């Protein structure tokens, strides 16, 4: 979960009222939604988002998800969700850091792993499609 990655995108998330639980903190399952928002922003930055993935004939299911909660977020809190691209040639691995936008205090660390699955055959690919690799490499520093 601590891989820095080669490319990152920061996304601001404002915690809505309907995401908090009876303990007045964000219910643990909603953090997955915040990761998805940041992951979509990263894929948009790469120029190969879920729409483009589908057009290329591939689905990219999440096959692994890890979360480490440090401190609960609260209603109205502004969060920064940083998505770091860690791996892309054989699988898509992204590490995340959720912090308080105002203070920088670390709230949550996470990591997701996705693999390409050819839509037509439903077969998992052992390497990422070349079109995805090229999209990533075109935006690397």
| DSSP 8-state assignment for residue 19 | G
Rounded to an integer, what distance in angstroms lies between the CA atom of residue 30 and that of residue 104? 20
Tens digit of each residue's pLDDT (9 = 90 or more) over 104-130: 999 999 999 999 999 999 999 999 999
The mean pLDDT value for 58-65 works out to: 97
pLDDT at 5: 84
Domain 7-139 has CATH 3.40.50.300: no
- Where would I find the beta strands (DSSP E) of 19-132? 58-59, 62-69, 78-87, 92-100, 106-114, 117-118, 123-124
How many Cα atoms occupy the beta-carbon half-sphere of 71 within 13 Å?
A: 10
Tens digit of each residue's pLDDT (9 = 90 or more) over 5-40: 899 999 999 999 999 999 999 999 999 999 999 999
């Amino acid at each position: 979960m601590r891989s820095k990655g080669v490319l990152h995108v920061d996304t601001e998330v404002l915690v809505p009222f309907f995401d908090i639980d009876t303990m007045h903190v964000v219910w643990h399952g909603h953090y997955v939604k915040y990761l998805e928002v940041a992951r979509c922003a990263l894929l948009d930055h790469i120029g190969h988002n879920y729409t483009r993935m589908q057009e290329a004939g591939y689905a990219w299911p999440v096959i692994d998800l890890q979360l480490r909660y440090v401190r609960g977020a609260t209603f109205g809190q502004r969060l920064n969700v940083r998505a770091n691209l860690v791996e892309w040639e054989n699988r898509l691995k992204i590490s995340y850091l959720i912090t308080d936008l105002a203070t920088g205090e670390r709230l949550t660390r996470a990591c997701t792993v996705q693999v390409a699955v050819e839509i037509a055959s439903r077969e998992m690919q052992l390497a990422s499609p070349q079109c995805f690799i090229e999209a990533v490499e075109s935006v690397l520093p």
